[in-house]
Structure 1
Amino acid sequence: MTQTTEYKVTGMSCGHCEASVRGEVSKISGVEAISVDAKTGSLVVGSVHPIADADVLAAVDEAGYEAVRV
């Protein structure tokens, strides 16, 4: 069963921003699904096993944005 965790990302404004976040988050072991929406600033991460918030936040930071768990 896949569990999802939602984050609010600030600073995204376009498809390139979404792709940057998606690319970094996809590097996290165990991530199976990623939904990113620049207009709403949402990031939803799906995984079978729990993913550490710190890993997701670090990946978003690496992409050049800031996030908080919703």
Structure 2
Amino acid sequence: MYRFHVPDMSCGGCLRSVEQAIRTIDPQAEVDGNLENHVVTVASSQGEARLLSALEMAGFPAQLLSQQEA
């Protein structure tokens, strides 16, 4: 499971776009977003680099949160 900080995710439409970007590379991914904290939790069979790339290509550059920040 990964937790990403997505600073540009600020509304429900943004969250839907983030979810769609992740599900494009992993249709079975579980995605949970917190708009207030700009954090997305992802359970996916894809690796961190591929998920980060998908988010960036969708216009939502993100950073992986460390376990201490999770």
> Identical aligned pairs, as a percentage?
26
Instruction: State the TM-score, normalized to the length of structure 2.
Output: 0.79
Change (3 A) 1:27 1:56: same
Alpha-carbon distance in structure 1 between the residues aligned to 2:59 and 2:26: 20
Deviation beyond 4 Å, 4+ runs, structure 1: none
1:12 matched to 2:35? The reply is: no
> How many residue pairs end up in the alignment?
65
Change (3 A) 1:69 1:44: same
Q: CA RMSD in A?
A: 1.6
Aligned with 1:36 (options 33, 38, 52): 33
Q: Is the 8 A contact 1:31 1:45 kept in 2?
A: no
Q: List runs of 5+ in structure 1 lacking aligned partners.
A: none
1:22 matched to 2:51? The reply is: no
Q: Is the 8 A contact 1:35 1:45 kept in 2?
A: yes
| Larger strand share, 1 or 2 | 1
User: Which residue pairs with 1:62 in the alignment?
Assistant: 57
- Residues 4-37 of structure 1: per-residue CA shift (max 9 Å, x gap): 1111111111000000000000112374311122
Q: Is the 8 A contact 2:11 2:35 kept in 1?
A: yes
